[in-house]
């Protein structure tokens, strides 16, 4: 009986393995280790960090496979993870150093190497944060940076709350292309205290993350550092447009025209806002992409004035800062009437004079013709 039972058991095992494709070798679950030495490295670029790791152990059985890594990272407390799939052993990105950073990574083996199903390792995790010093109220307040006319950058701030007069702040900045972070060399000062920075010419800094750190020192208490990141093209404040003119296109249409602001910003990068006033009442505020605008007027208009301002448009930046308003350009009704007379009445006057002149000539010829008849016959 024992022999028969053993034979039946072996037969069942054979049928199961044949039916479902299992073998003793495939019963062994394929596993892969997570990456080694996963860490977040701060190279001193004020928020631009390196995430790096080493290949997992025991990859000898997968030498013919292309190993990939799934990397996830975020600032601590953030709602969503940024996810990257890469074959490299490092990744770089910018972070807000006012908060901590957390990241995790695991190894991926493609289905071609694992009998048709992707294999993932467990997660390796890493965190990074800068140990804060000083209470949050001591850091700079109301940080404001403006890139004037896409040419020079100026940042300003207010001192922290409750700090003493011996507190001073220092600004450092970095963007991709610089070998290391640089300190401001032209501070704006009030009562000997730094409250802003005038930056030098920033070569090849557009369309890159621009990192700033403002830290401080005081003999009485530690000062909290502040970190900021932005892109310069998104904080450009152009000059206002120039050479505003008004031209009458027809009896009831006025064409407003201006020239692009002076400076290096291309014409294709501008958008304009026009404010038109009719008889000291705002008639319309509208946004246009060209340097002209045609306005309808009525016979009741006594005075027409307009101003215009500029901003970098969505084709050249994600956002921008409106310029100051241009000088006002006005056109009085008297001037409109003079233009109307010149444009419409003068041609009619010329035609009228010409008709009178021709009529006079015809009348003169008609009066002189009968006197010629007697003389003609008398001579004969």
Nearest of 308, 309, 331 to residue 320 by alpha carbon: 309
* pLDDT score at 339: 54
Which of 201, 236, 271 terminates a domain? The answer is 236
Q: Which residue has the tokens 């002209």?
A: 292
Shared domain for 230 and 243, answered yes or no, is no
Going by pLDDT thresholds of 50, 70 and 90, the confidence category of residue 378 is very low
Shared domain for 230 and 284, answered yes or no, is no
Shared domain for 296 and 229, answered yes or no, is no
Q: In this model, does residue 87 exceed pLDDT 50?
A: yes
β-strand partners of 273: 287, 309
* 157 inside domain: yes
Q: In this model, does residue 138 exceed pLDDT 90?
A: yes
* 61 inside domain: yes
Mean pLDDT, range 100-106, rounded to an integer: 97
* 279 inside domain: yes
Instruction: Work out the burial of residue 287: count CB atoms within 10 Å of its CB; fewer than 13 is exposed, 13-18 middle, 19 or more buried.
Output: exposed
Which of 236, 267, 288 terminates a domain? The answer is 236
* 43 inside domain: yes
Q: In this model, does residue 21 exceed pLDDT 50?
A: no
Percent of the chain with pLDDT over 70: 78
Q: How many CA atoms are closer than 13 Å to the CA of 110, on its beta-carbon side?
A: 10
Classify strands 152-158 and 141-148 as parallel, antiparallel or unpaired: antiparallel
Going by pLDDT thresholds of 50, 70 and 90, the confidence category of residue 355 is confident
* pLDDT score at 279: 76
Q: In this model, does residue 338 exceed pLDDT 50?
A: yes
In total, how many domains does the chain have? 3
* 21 inside domain: no
pTM above 0.85, yes or no: no
Which has the minimum average pLDDT: 54-68, 83-97, 136-150? 54-68
d(CA 339, CA 358): 29
Helix, strand, coil fractions of the chain, as percent rounded to 5 = 20, 40, 40
Shared domain for 156 and 84, answered yes or no, is no
Shared domain for 173 and 254, answered yes or no, is no
Going by pLDDT thresholds of 50, 70 and 90, the confidence category of residue 140 is very high
Shared domain for 161 and 224, answered yes or no, is yes
**List of residues 6+ apart from 277 with CB closer than 8 A:** 283, 304, 305, 306
Q: Which residue has the tokens 């037969």?
A: 11
Q: In this model, does residue 1 exceed pLDDT 50?
A: no
Shared domain for 112 and 190, answered yes or no, is no
- Domain residues for the domain of 53 are 39-128
* 6 inside domain: no
* pLDDT score at 119: 84
* pLDDT score at 72: 97
**Integer angstrom CA distances of residue 282 from 246, 304, 320:** 17, 10, 25
DSSP state of 343: I
Q: Longest C-alpha distance within the chain, in Å?
A: 170
* 92 inside domain: yes
Shared domain for 305 and 277, answered yes or no, is yes
Shared domain for 46 and 68, answered yes or no, is yes
Shared domain for 186 and 96, answered yes or no, is no
Number of neighbouring beta carbons within 10 Å of residue 130: 15
**Integer angstrom CA distances of residue 20 from 117, 119, 307:** 16, 20, 80
* pLDDT score at 7: 46
Q: In this model, does residue 251 exceed pLDDT 90?
A: no
CATH number (domain holding residue 53): 2.60.40.10
Determine phi and psi for 9, rounding to 5 degrees: -65, -40
Percent of the chain with pLDDT over 90: 57
pLDDT in tens, 188-231: 999 889 999 999 999 999 999 999 999 999 888 899 999 999 99
pLDDT in tens, 292-335: 999 887 766 677 889 999 999 999 999 899 999 999 998 776 55
**Integer angstrom CA distances of residue 234 from 17, 36, 141, 174, 332:** 64, 39, 21, 17, 39
* pLDDT score at 344: 58
Contact present, 169 and 214 (Cβ < 8 Å):
yes
Shared domain for 187 and 119, answered yes or no, is no
Going by pLDDT thresholds of 50, 70 and 90, the confidence category of residue 111 is confident
Q: In this model, does residue 139 exceed pLDDT 50?
A: yes
Going by pLDDT thresholds of 50, 70 and 90, the confidence category of residue 18 is very low
* 51 inside domain: yes
Shared domain for 142 and 122, answered yes or no, is no
* pLDDT score at 114: 67
Which of 193, 212, 236 terminates a domain? The answer is 236
Q: In this model, does residue 377 exceed pLDDT 80?
A: no
């Amino acid at each position: 009986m024992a022999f028969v039972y053993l034979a039946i058991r072996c037969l069942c095992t054979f049928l199961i393995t044949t039916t479902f494709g299992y073998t003793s070798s495939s019963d062994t679950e394929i596993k892969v280790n997570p990456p080694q030495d996963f860490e977040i490295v701060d190279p001193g670029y004020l928020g631009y960090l390196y995430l790096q790791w080493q290949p997992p152990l025991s990859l000898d059985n997968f030498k013919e496979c292309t190993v990939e890594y799934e990397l996830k990272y975020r600032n601590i407390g953030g709602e969503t993870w940024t996810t990257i799939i890469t074959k490299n052993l490092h990744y770089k990105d910018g972070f807000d150093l006012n908060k901590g950073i957390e990241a995790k990574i695991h190894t991926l083996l493609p289905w071609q190497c694992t009998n048709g199903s992707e294999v993932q390792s467990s997660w390796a995790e890493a965190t990074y944060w800068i140990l804060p010093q000083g209470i949050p109220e001591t850091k700079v307040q109301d940080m404001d940076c403006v890139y004037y006319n896409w040419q020079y950058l100026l940042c300003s701030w207010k001192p922290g709350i409750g700090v003493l007069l011996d507190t001073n702040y220092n600004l450092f900045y970095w963007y991709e292309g610089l070998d290391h972070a640089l300190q401001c060399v032209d501070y704006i000062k009030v009562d000997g205290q730094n409250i802003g920075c005038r930056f030098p010419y920033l070569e090849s800094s557009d369309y890159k993350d621009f990192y700033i750190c403002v830290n401080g020192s005081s003999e009485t208490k530690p000062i909290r550092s502040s970190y900021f990141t932005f892109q310069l093209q998104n904080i450009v404040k152009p000059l206002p447009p120039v050479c505003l003119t008004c031209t009458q296109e027809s009896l009831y249409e006025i064409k407003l025209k201006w020239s692009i602001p002076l400076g290096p910003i291309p014409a294709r990068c501008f958008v304009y806002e026009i404010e038109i006033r009719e008889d000291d009442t705002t008639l319309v505020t509208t946004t246009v992409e060209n340097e002209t605008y045609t306005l309808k007027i009525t016979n009741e208009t006594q005075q027409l004035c307009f101003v215009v301002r500029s901003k970098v448009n969505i084709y050249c930046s994600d956002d921008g800062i409106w310029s100051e308003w241009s000088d006002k350009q006005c056109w009085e009704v008297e001037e409109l009437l003079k233009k109307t007379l010149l444009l419409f009445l003068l041609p009619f006057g010329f035609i009228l004079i010409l008709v009178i002149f021709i009529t006079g000539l015809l009348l003169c010829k008609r009066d002189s013709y009968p006197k010629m008849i007697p003389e003609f016959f008398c001579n004969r």
